[in-house]
Amino acid sequence: MARKGNKTGEWARRHMNDPWVKKAVSQGYRSRAVYKFQEIDETDKLVKPGMVVVDLGSAPGGWSQYISRKFGSKVTVIAIDLLEMDYLEHVHFVKGDFQDESVLNQIDAILQDRKIDLVISDMAPNITGVRSSDEALYEGLLDSVLYFCEQRLKPNSHLLVKLFEGSAAHYFRREVKKQYKSGVVRKPAASRPKSREFYFLAKSRLVK
């Protein structure tokens, strides 16, 4: 137990001293994750006025908040998370698992007959600690993201996904090659260098 306490203390100390956390607090952002998306958006010019953007795994809401601040009502954001998320102007929030039918129905009701211009996902699977089962669970989650895009993302539109180095990420990148014109890896400055996390931008969904 004591060890767990020390680890929590270490995490809290590291968190409080993190320059990205300090920057997020000073700029009124909900999470340090906002700077990962901001860097990728500025590099790849992802979000544009008139778009419908779906933010999968949105809470506490940094990415949606960034889009809402930058574009206001010019961009429709649909944010989905298992956890509750505080209200954000110009953002439709749906609570639940994006794989559940009831959640998909709510997303479709907001979309009406529109298709999505950009899907962004900062989701991470719940890990059990057993590497092989974690990779299998993660592969399932990534498959659901691809299927979601197949159903609702406009052809020639992009998908940005957080990945963790490993077999599920390899699987995902192989699938992207079949379904998208190209893909690029992004490792923004706010993503901890030691972390296995990176981002993958699948560009231009192909029409089958």
Ligand X SMILES: C[S@@+](CC[C@H](N)C(=O)[O-])C[C@H]1O[C@@H](n2cnc3c(N)ncnc32)[C@H](O)[C@@H]1O
- Site residues (vs ligand X, CB under 6 A): 30-31, 33-34, 57-63, 80-83, 97-99, 122-124
Q: How far is the CB of 2 from ligand X (least distance, A)?
A: 28
CA distances from 165 to 66, 148, 181, 187 (A): 27, 22, 22, 12
> What does the alpha-carbon distance between residue 40 and residue 28 come to, in Å, rounded to a whole number?
20
Residue placing its CB nearer to ligand X in the complex, 83 or 136? 83
Residue placing its CB nearer to ligand X in the complex, 68 or 76? 68
Pair of tokens at residue 72 = 């206001």
At position 179, the amino acid (one-letter code) is Q
At position 62, the amino acid (one-letter code) is G
Pair of tokens at residue 27 = 């700029």
In terms of DSSP bridges, do strands 116-121 and 76-81 run parallel, antiparallel, or are they unpaired? unpaired
Q: How far is the CB of 137 from ligand X (least distance, A)?
A: 10
7, 22, 70, 162: which is the annotated catalytic residue? Answer: 162
Running DSSP on this structure, what letter comes out for residue 196?
A: S
30 and 60 Cβ atoms separated by less than 8 Å: yes
Q: How far is the CB of 112 from ligand X (least distance, A)?
A: 22
Q: Is 46 helix (H, G, I), strand (E, B) or coil?
A: coil
Residue placing its CB nearer to ligand X in the complex, 14 or 177? 14
> What does the alpha-carbon distance between residue 4 and residue 21 come to, in Å, rounded to a whole number?
23
Question: Known catalytic residue: 162?
Answer: yes
> What does the alpha-carbon distance between residue 125 and residue 202 come to, in Å, rounded to a whole number?
20
Q: How far is the CB of 141 from ligand X (least distance, A)?
A: 6
Which residues are part of the catalytic machinery? 162
